[in-house]
Every structure is written in C-alpha cells, then in structure tokens.
Structure 1
Amino acid sequence: MRTLFLSLGLLLALPAGARAQEEEPPGHGEHGHAGHEAREVRSLRDIPLMRRGSGTSWQPDLLPPSMLHGEAAGWGLMFSGVLFGGYDVQGGPRGDSAGAGIGWLMLMADRELPSGQLVLSVMLSPEPFTAGAEGGYPLLLQTGETYQGEPLHDRQHPHDLFMELAASYTHYFSDTWGLMLYAAPAGEPALGPVAFPHRVSAGYDPLAVLGHHWQDATHISFGVVTAGLVTPMAKLELSWFNGREPDENRYDLDLRVPDSFSVRLSANPTARVSAQVSYGYLRSPEALEPDVSLHRLTASATYHAPFGSNGFWATTAVFGRDVEGGEAPTDAFLLESSLDLDGHHVVFGRAELVRKTGHDLVLPEPLEHEVFDVGNLVLGYVYNLGPFGPVRPGVGVRGALNVVPAGLEPFYGSRTPVGGMVFVRVAPVMSGHP
C-alpha cells in the first residue's frame, strides 16, 4: 500500500517538476501569471498580508489573488472565502449519502501604523446550518469529535459558526525584526500548517483531509494568545490556548481558561516556498476522555508556481504525529495538489496515509488498541464559469478510492471502498483570469 501512495505522490508532483525546470524571464516574479504581483521581501513592511494563511500561519507569497479589496477610513479591507454545495456519496456498510454545504467567509481589516501593523479578522462558516445533520457530512475513514455524546466515525464534523474572531499587532523594532501579538476568543494557535480549508493546494477540494486530527485540527480553538518574533523570512511563535475540541453546539464560543501550549518555526525562503515545524501539548482535548492529553508534532512544506499564461499550481506535503496517553504514536502523511491549467480547467488530487487505532475508528472493544494503516487517493476536476461580477462559480466532481487493511474489510465491505461528490463552487474572482 505504501508503494501505491508513493506512486500517486510522484504523479501529483509531476506537473510542478516539469514547470519548475523552466527558467522565468526577467521580471516574471514581479508581475507574474494570474495577475499576481510578488515583490522581494526585504523588510517587515514588505510582507504581504496574504502571506497569512489561517490564524498566524504562513503560506508562500506567490499565490493567485482571491480576495476582494477595499478601503474605509484609513483601513484596508479584504474579503475572501469559498463555498461548496453538492451531493456526497460514500459507499459500503459504513458509508452514507447526503447533500452538504461546506465553506467559510472571512473579512479582514488592516491598518498600517508608524511602528507596526494592526489586523482584525472575522471568519464565519455556514456548516452548522448546511452540513450539521447526523453530526456532519459522510466521509469514509474520517474520525474526530462527537455527535449526541458518541465519537464520530466516517463523517466529518461541521466547523463552528465562529471560525475566527481575532486581533493581531506586529510592532516593528526595525526593518528586519519585530514582535507579533495575536489574541482570539476564537482562533488558531501556532500549531500545524495552514489549515486545509484555507490552503491553495486544497482550495478546489470540498472535503476534509483524513489526517485533520493529526495535522491542523486546532485551527478553531476557543481562547488563544500567541506571541512571536518575526523577520522578513522567518517567524518563531509561542501559543497558550484552550486545547479542548469544540463541543456539539456549533453556534457559540466554548471559552475555557487556556491550558495548552505550542511552538512553531515558520520560514519563507522564497516567494514560492513556505515551510514550518511545530509542537503542541494539548491538555484534555476530548470531552469524552477528559483525563487523556496528547502531544502533537507537525512538519509541512508548500510550493506555489505559475503555470502557463493564466494558470497556477500549488502543492503541500504534511506530516503529523499524535502521542496520546500511554498509546503508541500514530502518524499521518499527506500530499495534495491543485493545478489550474488556464483559469477555467482545474484538476486536483490528494494522497493520504494515516495510522488510526480501533478506538479512533470506533471499532468493537477487542480492536480498540490495534493500529490500522488507512488512506485514500483522490482525484477531482472543476470547470470555472464566468466571472459574474465579483465572484466566479464552478462545477466539479470528486472521486476517492479508499484503502483499508484486511482487518477492516468486514466493517467496510471491501478493501477499497469508494466515495464521490458532485458540487458547485463559488469564490471571489481571481485577478487576471480570462
């Protein structure tokens, strides 16, 4: 099975490898494809706000603009988001089918001050209203959180209505270093990569990653304070936050005294590359097991590049490890990619391998402590229409081949259960697309 995932990984990386070998003409990076402008970051004031992916995480500076911009009373305003609506079908005895609305909307306001930058952000999700039935939308092999007091399995929980309510301030001590402070009753600590709903490499895939609770599940934490030392190319952050997962009431703020911490080192050595390593201690993350805490280690790298005259390619690789209680460590590996060929035709793919326990998968008690290698291979296509005013709709299809070991075949009816989804997608217009 590992060979199968490696093969798909090479396939996902192939378009970028071919493109990366081409030399860019002078000035290409400054006025690049898809209308993007990427200038060299030499001082803190050169760091583009769009480098921020989710919470305080970083993504490459080179990316297709996908925000609507404005100004009001000296504040810069940016609106972004993506919404999916479609019909999700997951096969086998543990599968189900349902309609679902998935996505997020965010408004950011920033103000440049003589000695720093202030950023306010509000992010909301419609999922409590559109994907909350039965505890979330069907997704084979997905685990994490609860529904009606029982652990969820083979479903992805909806995200909370309030995904982020945050303020951050970066004070510039000089052009080359500063101090960042971030406070959020709903926000994201410095742990893990840019969360999957906000990555360009996952921006056309409506469904969650299987390794979510090994890699970026803390992207909604109710009570976060982060401090960081920032340079134009690197950032070291320390967070103190509420480690408890959101409860089943998706409409409120589950505030608790912060009890967990994390540390993250991020680097953007070029406009195309962003990488991070992070560690977190989550005290009592699950309400059903309040005496169990966990350690999480993550590492990731993201690469962005123009493709052709109007296209864009993005890929991300993520590793996550959880050490929970006295159990053996479990790992999650992810490689995902999206390739916008020309502004209209987009193909995307994902390969995952996750080690999940019988407890994670909610198997009978004799199998609770066994560890199973599970994963999936995803391929999808989106055709973008329009644009129509400030937004661009698209129609898409997604297929997934899931892979389970022989020990799980009785529960899933096959060693290769499949899933699929047809959907529409709406996002802000990307500048420069035809």
Structure 2
Amino acid sequence: MNPMAMMMNDPLGVSMERMGSGTTWIPDAVPLPARHAMSGSWLLMLHGFGFAQYDKQGGPRGNDQFGSLNWAMLMASRDLLGGRFQARTMLSLDPATVTNRGYPLLLQSGETYRGQSLFDRQHPHDFWMEFAVMYERALSRSIGVTVYAAPSGEPALGPVAFMHRPSAMDNLVAPLSHHWQDATHISFGVLTGGLFGRHWKLEGSVFNGREPNEERWGFDRIRFDSYSGRFTAHLDSSWVVSAGYGFLKSPEALTPSESIHRVTASLLQGRKLGMDGQIASSVIWGANRHSGRTTHSVLAESEAILNRRNTIFGRVDVVQKTAGELVLPSGPGGFAPDSTFTVTALSVGYIRELVRSSKATVGVGFQAGLNVLPAALAPIYGSRTPAGGMLFVRIRPLHGAHTMSRTAMPM
C-alpha cells in the first residue's frame, strides 16, 4: 500500500473521507470532492467551493445582490506518538464578497448587523470558519480516543454543517432551519473529547455558546460556557445517523439573558449513481427551547450528480419562527413578539458543468425558491407564496486519483 493510501485511514482504519464538518461523519459512499497530496510525512488535503451569484428575493421584504459565497479548507495530517495528528483551517471571504450584512434570503433570521437583528438575510461566514487541531489514537483494535481543540470550530452537537453535506454541497443557500440545527459550526472556543469505533462515535464538548459577532475578520473572545454531546452511528457505507443535545448560553447578543437547549437528530444517506455520479439525501430535525417555549424545524434535501455534466438538487425546509425572530411589526395592530408561525421553504436547483480540468470543474446553474406562509404574514411579505432565486457560476475541485480508484466515480 502506498504512503498516501495508508494515511487516508485513521488508527482504527476509518477513512479520512468519512469526515464532514468538525468531527462529524458522512456516508463513505459519497465523499466530498477534495485534492490530496503527500509532503514528506504529511498528508495534505484541499477542499473548497466558490460561487459568483446574483441573488433576487421578491416581495416588499425582498432585495437583490451581486456577490460571492466561498470557502476553502486546508488540512494536514501525520502520524504522531502512536496516533494521528491533524491540523486544519477553513477560511471564507464572505465578509468582503457579500458584506457583513450577508445576502438576501426571505424568512431567514439570526445574528446581527449594526446592532440590529438580521432578518430576511443570511449572515456571512466569518473569515476564520475553522482553525483547529485533532488527535486520534487507538486504545485497542476496536476502540479509539479522539480530542479536538479549536479557537474557531464546531462542537459535537448538530448534524454535518450544510455546506459539507453531500446532499447540499452545490446548494449555495443556507437552510431557514440553520439556527435550529447546525449554526454552531462556527464557535469561538471548542474542546471536544470522545471515544469511537469503526462504526460509532460518542463525543462531548464544551464551547462558546455566543453566535459570532459583527467583526467577521478576527477571532471573537474565546469562552467555554456551553456544553453538548452527540452520538453517531455509521450503519454501513451508505447510511449515517446521529443525535445530539446542547446547552447554549446566551447565543444572541441582543438577548443576553436568554439561553437555549437544543436537540438535533439527522439521517444521511448516499450511494453511487452510475460510473460518474452519486445521489445523497439528508433528513434533519432540530428543536430549540428557551423562555419556556419550544420551536421545531425539519429539513429534507437531496442532490444528484447525474453524470459528468449535470447536477440537480432540492430542499424542503419547515421551521417555527417567532414574530421577534422575523422582526415583524409589534405594538398596536402588530404581532406579539412571542407569536409563532410555521413557515416553509421549497427550493430546486440545477448545475451544468462547462469546463473540466484534471483537478477542478466549473459550472453554471440556478436555484429557485418558493416560500409558503400562514395567512397572517401575507400582508407583510406581499403574498402567502413569496419567491426568490439565484443565478450563479460555481467552481469546485474534482476527487483525487486515489478516490476515483476506490469509488470508481470521477465527479
């Protein structure tokens, strides 16, 4: 076995390509596209996506924007002290390319801009999406121990973050349920420890429960005021299931006295599709409880790489949001801040690959979204079914040669 192939497995023989965001797992059958190379005793991995998009959201609360959503991840691994050491960083230029105000997205909520709640917009990723180290070592032939530490990283709580899910990797739009499910993927201060086998993982974390602040280029103050736990089972090469619980202390800067109990569960499935494709799906549930009230979210999404040229994707996203989260009018004739509304977002998209090299592919595509609202919100959004969408160009890496030989699908 060549050195790269040996380094692609952890101390228990688990493939590195099972890794999603943070310490999550994805199905072995649908690894994320990445490039790998050896540099001495180090295995290097590069992964990333770049979009240049025009975003148009309709109705009186909509807006439009030209921008770019992007992220790049570099990881370096080597054997150390009888185990495997890994250093990684993930960076995004979103604060410059979609600004600190983020991009238009009807019904989205969470985080702030200029001291006010963001609404009908998705916040940008911080420049330092992840800056972390991880160490894994076998305790026996069947059990290993793992430690993950990050000034900026992801605790063991939710599902795989949306941009790392094979079911959503080409869908540039964040789910409306982001802050019910995977929003902790950027937390400034994370310590995680756990035990794992070849097909299971049990982890616990202490971390910073506060959402990132408006200064998107640096590191926020590191705190360890929140905690979480997660169990993950790798049922076979096509199925991964996980469930987690977390206590988030004072996540929102505008409501510092409110803390959240969050529960999540997810099912990820994937398989090869012909010689050149794959299909991946996810079903995710998340619930937040704070101020004596529980709100729920559920998401189902899929992406199919049909062949070397064509990709389709879609999502159904249902979430309960309060009038306060949606920043609806209050006072006489308005809404009580704790009024809760169930909103639904439906979206589909398509990508046509235009240019392929030996290492990357460039495609052009669209994403179209239709929202379904309760009647009470129709006067605010102009109708019960406000729509929006994006046109975009996307570049991403192709799988490396070692992956193609293992999976027989050069995507």
TM-score, structure 2 normalization: 0.93
- Tell me if 1:355 matches 2:320: yes
Q: Distance in 2 between matches of 1:206 and 1:256?
A: 29
Query: Which of 404, 419, 422 is 2:391 aligned to?
Result: 422
Query: In structure 1, what is the Cα distance between the partners aligned to 2:74 and 2:222?
Result: 25
Q: How does 1:200-211 map to 2 (within 5 A)?
A: 200-211=166-177
Partner of 2:405: none
- C-alpha separation in 2, matches of 1:69 and 1:381: 28
Q: Report if aligned partners of 1:42, 1:232 keep a CA contact under 8 Å in 2.
A: no
The answer for the alignment partner of 1:22 in structure 2 is none
2:144 is the alignment partner of 1:175: no
1:195 equivalent to 2:161? Answer yes
Match of 2:299 in 1: 334
Q: Which residue of 1 aligns with 2:51?
A: 84
Moved more, 406-415 or 360-369: 360-369
Q: Secondary structure at the match of 2:376?
A: helix
- Paired with 1:150 and 1:48, the residues of 2 have a C-alpha distance of 44
Displacement of 1:237 after TM fit? 0.4
2:122 to 129, 135, 156: 156
Q: Which residue of 2 aligns with 1:98?
A: 65
* Letter aligned with residue 27 of structure 2: P
Unaligned runs of 5+ in 1: 1-37
Q: Matched residue pairs, number?
A: 394
Secondary structure, in 3 states, of the residue corresponding to 2:338? coil
**RMSD, aligned α-carbons:** 1.8
- Contact (CA 8 Å) 1:115, 1:173: kept in 2 or not? no
- Residue in 2 aligned with 1:345? 310
Deviation at 1:113, TM superposition (A): 3.8
Provide the residue aligned with 2:258 in structure 1. Answer: 292
Deviations 1:119-151 (A, max 9, x none): 110100110110115x11000010000011000
Q: Distance in 2 between matches of 1:180 and 1:151?
A: 37
**Does the 8 Å contact 2:258/2:291 carry over to 1?**
yes
* CA–CA distance in structure 2, aligned partners of residues 272 and 376 of structure 1: 27
Q: How many percent identity over aligned positions? A: 46
**Quick one: distance in 2 between partners of 1:367 and 1:98?**
31
Is this contact kept in 1: 2:203–2:230, CA < 8 A?
Answer: yes
Task: Trace 1:369-384 onto structure 2 (pairs within 5 A).
Answer: 369-384=338-353
Q: Deviations over 1:37-93 (max 9, x none)?
A: x99x99953101121100111111112451111111201000001111110000000
Deviation track 1:361-418 (CA, whole Å, cap 9, x = no partner) reads 0112333111101011101100112312421111001100111100100110000000
In 1, distance between residues paired with 2:32 and 2:10?
Answer: 22
Q: CA deviation at 1:232?
A: 0.7
Residues of 1 paired with 2:376 and 2:352: CA distance? 39
SS in 1 for 2:378: helix
Residue 379 of structure 2 aligns to a residue whose secondary structure is helix
**C-alpha separation between the residues in 2 aligned to 1:186 and 1:241?**
10
- How far the C-alpha of 1:432 sits from its partner, in A, is 4.1
Counterpart AA for 1:361: L
Residue 127 (structure 1) aligned with residue 104 (structure 2): no
Q: CA deviation at 1:256?
A: 2.8
Deviation of the 1:204 alpha carbon: 1.2
Which ranges of structure 2 fall in alignment gaps of 5 or more residues?
400-407
CA contact (8 A) 2:153 2:185 kept: yes
Structure 1 residue aligned with 2:206, among 237, 240, 251? Answer: 240
The letter of the residue matching 2:212 is P
Residue number in structure 2 paired with 1:75: 42
Contact 2:188/2:223 (8 A) holds in 1? no
Partner in structure 2 of residue 115 of structure 1 = 82
Alignment partner, residue 324 of structure 1? 290
Do the aligned partners of 1:333 and 1:352 also contact (CA within 8 Å) in 2?
A: yes
**How many angstroms apart in 2 are the aligned matches of 1:131 and 1:338?**
25
Match 1:386 to one of 346, 350, 355 = 355
